[in-house]
Amino acid sequence: MSNARPDNRATKQAGTASLRLFVALAAAAGLGLGSSCSLNPVHSRAVSDLGPERPEDYPPESEFHRPGEPCALCHSSDGPADSKFVLAGTIFWGPDNYLRRVDNAYVRVKDANKVEKCFVTNCNGNFFVRPEQFPRLTFPLLVSVERTKAPGRDDSSLKFRRMNSHIGREASCGRCHLNLDGQSIRDFGSPGQIRLYDAEPEVDALQLPPNVNNGQACPAAPETVVLQCPEDRQ
């Protein structure tokens, strides 16, 4: 019995040592770039609280991953993602069902300089804005979300919603619109996931194709993917 423990500990320590080395290297790399990534315990904690990728739900580390989560927490200069987003989030059909996300929704943003741009959600309901897609984006922002009847084919409105208040400075919609998937960062006072309909039965009545807005079905068939909002098409 007293023999087993040191052995176990030795194995554990070897693991911990290589993890430490990895963390030290990552921190050194971060320092070289003038970033404070792995040295900020609050940031590291917030990232690790999100938990691991869920490959059973979506293709990991892809544009379809982590729906509803605060994208820019990781996609920022603090890392861990390499790519940075100035704005990103996920649109859901209803208030409670985490598995029904809206593909080809139009997310319109108007910044403090009155510059307006529109972005389209992918087949898992995610949208994201890279810095070069909205140069000089200036907070506060006004946002709205629209889904048309058959995006790209029949762009008459199915549902439109506008957020009444401004977004003061936060790049992740999911920071405030925490989803109901048991994420550890839930908060009371959250407006809930961004949804088109306020009740799930209203969504049921639409008779959406089963599984269509669920990460397992992503990427979607190319002919169903809409790349631009109606106003951006020539």
Q: Is 229 in the site for ligand HEC (CB under 6 A)?
A: no
149 Cβ partners below 8 Å, 6+ apart?
A: 155, 156, 157, 158
Compute the least distance from the CB of residue 77 to ligand HEC, in Å.
Answer: 12
Q: Is 38 in the site for ligand HEC (CB under 6 A)?
A: no
What is the C-alpha to C-alpha distance for residues 150 and 170, in angstroms, rounded to an integer? 31
Compute the least distance from the CB of residue 209 to ligand HEC, in Å.
Answer: 22
Continuous segment of H or E residues that includes residue 169: none
Q: Is 178 in the site for ligand HEC (CB under 6 A)?
A: no
Compute the least distance from the CB of residue 16 to ligand HEC, in Å.
Answer: 22
| Residue 146 CA to its chain's centroid (Å) | 18
Compute the least distance from the CB of residue 156 to ligand HEC, in Å.
Answer: 19
Q: Are 156 and 126 in contact (CB under 8 A)?
A: no
Residue in 52, 44, 53 with CA at minimum distance from that of residue 23: 44
Nearer to ligand HEC, 7 or 187 (CB): 187
- CA distances to 97, 166, 182 from 142, rounded to whole Å, are 26, 5, 28
Nearer to ligand HEC, 155 or 178 (CB): 178
Return the residue of 50, 158, 185, 217 that touches ligand HEC, per CB under 6 A.
50
Compute the least distance from the CB of residue 58 to ligand HEC, in Å.
Answer: 10
Q: Is 75 in the site for ligand HEC (CB under 6 A)?
A: yes
Q: Is 49 in the site for ligand HEC (CB under 6 A)?
A: no
Residues 83-142 that bind ligand HEC (CB under 6 A): 83, 87-90, 107, 126, 128
DSSP lists the bridge partners of residue 145 as: 107, 161
Residue 105, exposed/middle/buried by CB under 10 A (0-12, 13-18, 19+)? buried
What is the C-alpha to C-alpha distance for residues 80 and 119, in angstroms, rounded to an integer? 24
Secondary structure of residue 108 in the 3-state scheme: strand
Q: Is 218 in the site for ligand HEC (CB under 6 A)?
A: no
Return the residue of 161, 180, 204, 224 that touches ligand HEC, per CB under 6 A.
161
Q: Which residues contact ligand HEC (rule: CB under 6 A)?
A: 47, 50, 61-63, 65-67, 69, 71, 73-75, 80-83, 87-90, 107, 126, 128, 143, 145, 161, 163-165, 167, 170, 173, 175-177, 191, 194
